[in-house]
Amino acid sequence: MAKYEYLAQHVSGKFLYAADALSRAPNPDCTDDTDLELEVEAYLNSDLFPSLPATPPKLMEYVQAQIDDPTCAKVREYCETQWPSRNSIDSSLKPYWKVKASLTLVKQLLLYNNRIVVPLKLRKETLENIHEGHQGIERSRLRAQCSVWWPCVTAEVKQYVENCRECAKECKPKREPLISTPLPDYPWQMVGTDLFELKGQQYLVVVDYYSRYPECIKLSRTTSAHIITVLKAIFARHGIPETVRSDNGPQFSSHEFTQFAQTYGFKHTTSSPHYPQSNGAYGSNRKTHPKEIGRSSLSNFVLSSDTNAVVWTIPL
């Protein structure tokens, strides 16, 4: 009861309809107030602080920070004496004035009900502790409600969790795991192909999955028919691969391309429509994608303008 503020009101005996055993039959043997004081002290020592999730040194740190903080120091003072009227206090104290009935000073620690009043200096650290383990907004709020308070604490907890970088990372949509392509048994058994643009010019790149040997061909058109013509020329030089991998671009998903695969007798596999990066040779490394290999090839070598075709003899 020590933490409550009382309103004493006299009620005349004639209005007490039930017998008041406490006031009318005092125990003459019990005149010493020491027992009561000890009981109060025991209550304060045993029941209040163990419920707070803080060690005694940490509680002392809060006490000291409250004393050092000008606003908290004033609140502490008003709790020990009397709160002035709302109009006569500083604006920084108004949020505390509204809840003055819940504010108490227990063993030098300023509390809001059973929650520690956290001064400005310790709020960031307290928020970190509340959000330890990166629990969501609701769980973090519940932690605060059991232990700490300051004006707008709920909104600040919400804001802190929303801005947490670790939590933001966790919320990112999970990527489909990339499955590495096993190394083929021999060269030109499996090739990857893709279109890419460099300095406004479209190219087709074909990369051997065994050796990473690339061929880049400048394209005059990007139609399926033209891509097939270009691939036929490449296959004429190196042979027809067993498998051709590509993305789901219109040139490769067309009926013409399917027919081309059937006529030439190679297996055509396409990457997942939602995860085009799975076309990468040997796993997830972006630089192993045919498109990336083609780009880096062309930025390192000069393209033959006569034939519009270059056979790279330097392996990457």
Spell out a b/e string for 48-74, using b for 16 or more CB atoms within 10 Å of the CB, else e.
bbeebebeeeebeebbebbeebebbee
Q: Which residues make Cβ contacts (< 8 Å) with residue 298, sequence separation at least 6?
A: 198, 203, 216
Which stretch in 9-17, 26-34, 84-92, 133-141 sits in contact with Zn ion by CB under 5 A? 133-141
Give the one residue of 54, 99, 106, 167 binding Zn ion; rule: CB under 5 A: 167
261 within 8 A of 253, measured Cβ to Cβ? no
In a 3-state reduction of DSSP, which class is residue 214?
Answer: strand
Residue of 29, 80, 166, 306 that binds Zn ion (CB under 5 A): 166
- Please give the size of the binding site for Zn ion, defined by CB under 5 A: 4
Closer of 172 and 255 to Zn ion (Cβ): 172
How far apart are CB 2 and Zn ion at their closest, in Å? 38
The minimum distance between CB 130 and Zn ion, in angstroms, equals 11
Q: Which of 164, 204, 216, 244 binds Zn ion (CB under 5 A)?
A: 164
Q: Is 134 in the site for Zn ion (CB under 5 A)?
A: yes
Q: Does the protein bind Zn ion through residue 171 (CB under 5 A)?
A: no
Tokens of 224: 């399926």
The residue at minimum Cβ distance from Zn ion is 164
CB atoms under 10 Å from CB of 161, counted, come to: 20
Stretch that binds Zn ion, among 72-80, 164-172, 186-194, 290-298 (CB under 5 A): 164-172
- Of the pair 47, 170, the CB lying nearest Zn ion is at 170
SS3 content of the chain, % helix, strand, coil (to 5): 45, 15, 40
- Compute the distance between CA of residue 222 and CA of residue 234 in angstroms, rounded to an integer: 16
Binding of residue 162 to Zn ion (CB under 5 A):
no
Residue ranges that bind Zn ion, judged by CB under 5 A: 134, 164, 166-167
